[in-house]
Amino acid sequence: TVKLLFACVGISFAVIKVSVYALIGVVTNDEKEHKSLLSSVESCFMIGIAAGFIAFPFFYSDTDPNAWLRIYLLLAGLIALSFLVLLIADFKADYEIPGTSLADDFVEMIRLIKRPLVLVFAIAAFMYVMTEQGIMSWLPTFNQKVLHLPEKTSIYMAVI
């Protein structure tokens, strides 16, 4: 069941990230705005990762081994808030191209795989995310088991 959970979380993460990137193309007017908003989104993402490493130890307790699970209540609240913001956001963008269908667009997307540069980019992006997530998952344990740091400190040190 844990493998299924990780698979669902990974797929959800990928879908959300692709959706955000697609939306950036819709809400920006030119290349400069696109680059600026993309940089801001990536910065917020990295700040969120660092905040996660800082927030989890706040919920850690020496007396209650399950205390750290309470952070998921905070995360659920933040997700609900984000959902409400998206629910009330007014997106008045209609980017349907006349004369094409969803099936045509999908076929064109699949044809991109034939391009070597697209394939190299997809492999590089996959390897980058796999390495990033592997290190982020592994580093707190390394800090605790090898460097003999206290559990709470080992998580804080992973931010560096």
8 lies in the same domain as 27: yes
Long-range contacts of 69-74 (CB under 8 A, 24+ apart): none
Find the domain containing 18 and state its range: 1-95
Is 65 found in the same domain as 83? Answer: yes
26 and 88, same domain (yes or no)? yes
Distance (Å) of CA 92 to CA 22, 89, 95? 15, 10, 10
Residues 64 and 135 grouped into a single domain:
no
What digits encode the pLDDT tens for the residues 89-100?
A: 877 766 666 677
- State the total domains in the chain: 2
17 contacts: CB under 8 Å, gap ≥ 6: none
pLDDT digits (tens, 9 = 90+) for 12-63: 877 888 888 888 888 888 899 999 999 999 899 888 888 887 888 888 888 8
Do 101 and 74 share a structural domain?
Answer: no
Q: pTM above 0.75?
A: no
Q: Which of 72, 95, 118 is the last residue of a domain?
A: 95
Last residue of a domain, one of 66, 95, 124: 95
Is there a single domain that holds both residue 69 and residue 146?
Answer: no
The end-to-end CA distance of the chain, in Å, is 32
> Which residue reads 């963008």 in tokens?
93
Q: Count other Cβ atoms within 10 Å, centred on residue 51.
A: 12
Same domain, 13 and 50: yes
E strands, 7-86, in order: none
What number of other Cβ atoms are within 10 A of residue 38's Cβ? Answer: 15
